[in-house]
Amino acid sequence: MKNSLLVTLVVLLFLSCGKKSNPEGIYVRDFAELNRAIKQVNPGGEIILVNGVWKDVQIKFFGRGTKEKPITLRAETPGEVFIEGQSYLHLGGENLIVNGLYFRNGYTPSTGIIRYKIGLDSVVNNSRVTNCVIENFTQPSRSMSDRWVEFYGKLNQMDHCYIAGKSNDGNTLMVYHTGNENTNNHHQIVYNYFGPRPRKGGPRAETVRIGNPQMTPGYVNVSNNYFEACNGEVEIVSDKADFNIFRNNIFYKCEGSLVLRHANYGTVDGNIFIGGDESDFYGGIRLVNTGHWITNNYFYKIKGREFRSPLAVMNGIPNSISNRYKQVTDAVIAYNTWVDCKSPWQFGIGQNRESANVLPASEIRSLPPIRTTIANNLIYNTQVDKAPLVDHDSINGILFKNNIIDNNGVEYSEFSVLQNKKIKMKQVNEWLFVPQDGQNEFLNDVFNGYDFGRIQQDLFGDSRTKKSRVGAINQLSTAEKFVIDKKKYGPDWFSTDKVITEPNILSASSAEGELRKMIEHAKTGDVVELSDKVYNINSSLKIDKEITIRSKTGNKAQLVFTGEENTPAFEMNPRGIIKLENLSLKGQNNQLAFAPLNENMSAAYKLFIDNCVIEDFSYMLKASKGSFADTINVNNTTIQNCENGIVLAADEKGDYNAEMVTFNECEFINVKRNVINFYRDGYDESTIGGFLTLSNNTFTSCGGKEESGLLINTRGIINVNIIDNTFSHNPVKLVALLWGAKNNHHSNNTLIQSGQIKVEEQQELDILY
């Protein structure tokens, strides 16, 4: 009887949590079982989430394991436990491990998806998150702020995780430093794969941010990570705490920089920055503050300017508060290599004395770098760079020693801080150039500065203690063995390789509803060809994927939109990409040709129009508050008889509504107002800031009802290029009012009874942080 009772009690104990137990751990099948398991698990135990979808689970994983016996929460099979809906995972306690979870198809209802803290004060220490994925787990609106990973406590780690697709406001990964429990934390962020983060169109879009401007000690180690297309803003990594280390990371085609922002005594060693010719916004390393060591880094085709320069050394503000710009002092920049970078060295970045009339004194950056050593660096160009060094203020406070340049055989002499040499190089792969061994003896003559003995290895781990040479790489033989193995980064079960499929060519007749059904059922990348002459569309076409619509023959098929007033012919949804080719789009004078959703635009859209006619609409394009177009490219297209043209001015201050806007060889005829209204009432220095290119267009009889008297409004937009256009009989006072202090330019335009193009050197706008 006693034995039977004992057996019954044991069975009931296991069944009470709805779980099965074996030597491998406790299996849980739903949220209630999980919570019971968290309360009952002991040090050394494992909680195992069974495979499948876990939706709307807000997990608070609290436990106190030990170093020898941590408590583990893991997927039954790594990558087959999907966390979806309004979900998060917050950790508290000691010695916890999380392994193998996949966050997708949802967003966090809290401040963090993975958070090393529960509630207000229950931090976790000595804990690890590994082998997990967070992909496109972004808020419904890009203006809603969160962080995907929030570090608190001490001695925590994230490794071998894949994180990509954040399009809303807020850092992807944030290390908090408020409170003694969070400083001197020695966190480890290693072997992760930070995948694409799209352009946000506003600040607060760093991929990794460490600390706040209080400049507290961190000792965070960010090493051996892979960053790909992290384009959220100018600061991919924003370091705002002291004594942090950034080593052996790879930045692949990222439109931003590793920035030592409010930090002191940072170490940036052995990182690789790979750019290319397709973007002028790939960045390198930017320095602010004191005591940094920048060593053994390699830069290839980094072509960003100013804040995104391959090497950007900032000017400081006198008596600067902690969250602005302190003077660069006591830095060492040694044993680095720049190959085919555009103006790789830029000093005094941000110098803005000329803006003293429109900015307060607390924003004037007038202190150039001092007590800084730049030595044993190598610049190599396969094409001549006219300005490898740009001095925006003064370099008198910098000690230059034994820096070598090969400017494709053309001697550089503007500043006498670079030695011109002919370097025999070997191209190891597409991006890696290494000096030949035994044929560049002058590279062995290095400057041994104060404390240079701490630089013990080169980029690839070869010793510098007995023999060292100029540049990031000591030996060709070691460099020849190096390959970027992306499998080292992120989870071993997750593939970052993109599957390329051939698009389907679909044919749609003008039968009622056929075009709509074709778009709905098409796969991303498909092409829909129109063979009939006229297509009547009575409600908006939803674009939520990449799709091309084009005429099948040389004649333009006509899309006649008869939808309700103020509705768009093409409704742009998050991640929607529309390509229109050789079409005519006709409205009824009271609708929109294109418009994003009025709310919940969680991600950017793209618009490509070629060889089309767009006529008789209230708006050609009208942006909504919170929407963002990554690219608007219109070529060889006529826009005529519209009440309004292109309005990208919904947000005013803060975020802006589009990044890359291009009109080439287009005709604007009788567009009555808002011909192009690309506007932002303020600016920041964290983003591209908008880019408008108008080339070879004609504007005729436009702006007749424009109350502002301005044909093209670009206030607050940083990059504007108006070139080779003709403006004829437009009854406005000004064609454009450009911002001379920024990257606003005009040339070779013809103006006939259309006012003038005026340049205002300084514009009084708010700086937006």
Which residue's entry shows tokens 């093209």? Answer: 712
Q: Are residues 340 and 383 in the same domain?
A: yes
Q: What's the CA gap between 192 and 7, in Å, rounded?
A: 47
Per DSSP, the three-state class of 271 is: coil
Q: Are residues 236 and 216 in the same domain?
A: yes
> What is the structure's pLDDT at 6?
37
Confidence of residue 23 (pLDDT cuts 50, 70, 90): very low
Question: Does residue 182 fall inside a structural domain?
Answer: no
Question: Does residue 175 fall inside a structural domain?
Answer: no
Q: What is the pLDDT of residues 538-583, one digit of tens each?
A: 999 999 999 999 999 999 999 999 999 999 999 999 999 999 999 9
> Exposed e or buried b for every residue in 346-359, given b needs 16+ CB within 10 A?
bbbbbbbeebeeeb
* Tokens at 182, concatenated: 């969070």
Q: Are residues 730 and 758 in the same domain?
A: yes
Question: Does residue 110 fall inside a structural domain?
Answer: yes
CA 161, chain centre distance (Å) = 18
Span 423-437, average pLDDT: 96
Closest by CA position to 415, among listed 439, 396, 440: 396
Give yes or no for residue 765 having a pLDDT over 90: no
Q: Are residues 476 and 511 in the same domain?
A: no
Question: Does residue 189 fall inside a structural domain?
Answer: no
Q: Are residues 104 and 67 in the same domain?
A: yes
Confidence of residue 9 (pLDDT cuts 50, 70, 90): very low
Q: Are residues 416 and 484 in the same domain?
A: yes
Q: Considering its fold, how many domains does the chain have in total?
A: 4
Asked if 519 and 528 touch (Cβ cutoff 8 Å), the reply is: yes
> What is the structure's pLDDT at 654?
67
pTM, rounded to two decimals: 0.93
Question: Does residue 643 fall inside a structural domain?
Answer: yes
Q: What's the CA gap between 525 and 504, in Å, rounded?
A: 8
Span 452-476, average pLDDT: 96
Span 721-749, average pLDDT: 94
Choose the weakest-confidence range: 455-459, 586-590, 761-765. 761-765
Question: Does residue 187 fall inside a structural domain?
Answer: no
Domain boundary residue among 493, 515, 541? Answer: 493
Closest by CA position to 92, among listed 124, 70, 136: 124
Q: What's the CA gap between 406 and 412, in Å, rounded?
A: 9
Q: Are residues 385 and 520 in the same domain?
A: no
Q: Are residues 523 and 486 in the same domain?
A: no
Domain boundary residue among 468, 493, 518? Answer: 493
Q: Are residues 669 and 733 in the same domain?
A: yes
The residue type found at 305 is R
Q: What's the CA gap between 472 and 434, in Å, rounded?
A: 9
Q: Are residues 267 and 413 in the same domain?
A: yes
Domain boundary residue among 441, 469, 493? Answer: 493
Phi, psi of 647 (to 5 degrees): -115, 110
Question: Does residue 631 fall inside a structural domain?
Answer: no
* Tokens at 140, concatenated: 């419904």
Long-range contacts of 439-446 (CB under 8 A, 24+ apart): 440/469, 442/404, 443/378, 443/404, 443/469, 443/470, 443/471, 444/468, 444/469, 444/470, 445/402, 445/470, 446/375, 446/376, 446/402, 446/470
Its domain, for residue 114, covers 1-139+147-170
Measured at the CA of 69, the angle between CA 119 and CA 158, to 5 degrees, comes to: 55
CATH of the domain at 331: 2.160.20.10
Measured at the CA of 83, the angle between CA 80 and CA 86, to 5 degrees, comes to: 165
DSSP string, 465-519: SS---SSS-S-HHHHHT----GGGSS-TT--------PPPEEEE-SSTTHHHHHH
Q: What is the pLDDT of residues 646-663, one digit of tens each?
A: 999 876 666 789 999 999
Q: Are residues 734 and 696 in the same domain?
A: yes
Q: Are residues 258 and 304 in the same domain?
A: yes
Question: Does residue 188 fall inside a structural domain?
Answer: no
Q: What's the CA gap between 652 and 655, in Å, rounded?
A: 8
Give yes or no for residue 3 having a pLDDT over 80: no
